[in-house]
Amino acid sequence: MKKIINNPNDVVKEALEGMQMAYKDKLEYVPGFELIVRKELKNKVGIISGGGSGHEPLHAGYVGEGMLDAAVAGNIFSSPSPDRISEAIERVDKGEGVLLVIKNYSGDIMNFGLSKDMAEADDKKVATVIVKDDVAVEDSTYSTGRRGIAGTVFVHKIAGAMAEKGASLEEVERAANKAIANIRSMGMAMSACTLPAVGKPGFVLAENEMEVGMGIHGEPGIERTSIKSAKETAKILLEKILKDYDYSNSEVALLVNGLGATPLMELYILNREVCNLLEEKNIKVYKNMVGNYTTALDMSGCSLTLMKLDNELKELLDAPCDTPAWKNC
């Protein structure tokens, strides 16, 4: 295992410390609770998300103006504990309520749910939305129903922009759920990731193999097949998304996401093929994002995400924001 780390047991804490040092004028690191919190909190609905570490820049990279107010980090690929989530709620609650954006994994559902219950027992207003954008599987051993993957980034943006406008908790929750309803994602992997504490990949794909539909923790996909060209890969991933949801004659936000070890050159080539296919199907790309937005440590692979847009979602997507991973748009 070749990684730029110290003690494998300290990677989450040290990564968050390093991040705070890079953005010390805007972000606060809360040791012990492993939180990244926006320094200048406003009197508005607070937006919190989080989950297991290893998916950087998700979630802490989206803390800042126009997106999240706090991100809660668990250990690598493990849900954060309720005490960490509760601390985040306490810090960002300014009396207008708090929205928790949760990816659809059983540990996250349980721990964020417990924190919500405890906060409500203290008379705090807390709402939750659950992201489940992965069309690869309906059920898996890691989640109840569909997994939440890179589409989570769009939910952060929509919810954060709505809250920044001064909307009520109910309005922010509605906008986030509207985004979720219009988002679908599909991914593939060409290699496994290596957990720092384990020191070796969790599985092995042959040199000429790829797995279609693999999850961001290495969950099984729907098909293991020979390596395909960028054009073929784009078609496979996009067909699965379009079969699941009707994007015809619409405008979309397109995210071509790297899983950690895929060069940008390859992501841009894939983006070219996806955009060409969408044009053929009379689907207009309103906003196109390419890069590492939701990763899986050092996994080689990618995912595609589409969000169908209307005027409201366009306005929220275009609203100003300033975070480490998503700057003013």
Sheet holding 301-309, edge to edge: 223-226, 209-212, 183-189, 301-309, 251-258, 284-291
For 313, the enclosing helix (H) or strand (E) is: helix 311-318
Residue whose C-alpha is closest to residue 286's, from 255, 264, 265, 258: 255
Residues linked to residue 288 through DSSP beta bridges, in sequence order: 254
Cα gap 171→175, rounded to integer Å: 6
At 192 the three-state DSSP class reads: coil
Active site (annotated) includes residue 59: no
Q: Which of 44, 55, 59, 308 is catalytic?
A: 55
Task: Give the number of other Cβ atoms within 10 Å of residue 32's Cβ.
Answer: 9
Residues linked to residue 157 through DSSP beta bridges, in sequence order: none
Tell me 187's DSSP state.
E
Active site (annotated) includes residue 156: no
Provide φ and ψ at 296, rounded to 5°: -135, 65
Cα gap 226→190, rounded to integer Å: 10
CB 286 within 8 A of CB 250: no
For 62, the enclosing helix (H) or strand (E) is: none
Q: Which of 132, 157, 217, 308 is catalytic?
A: 217
Looking from the CA of 283 toward its CB, the CA atoms found within 13 Å total: 22
Active site (catalytic) residues: 55, 217
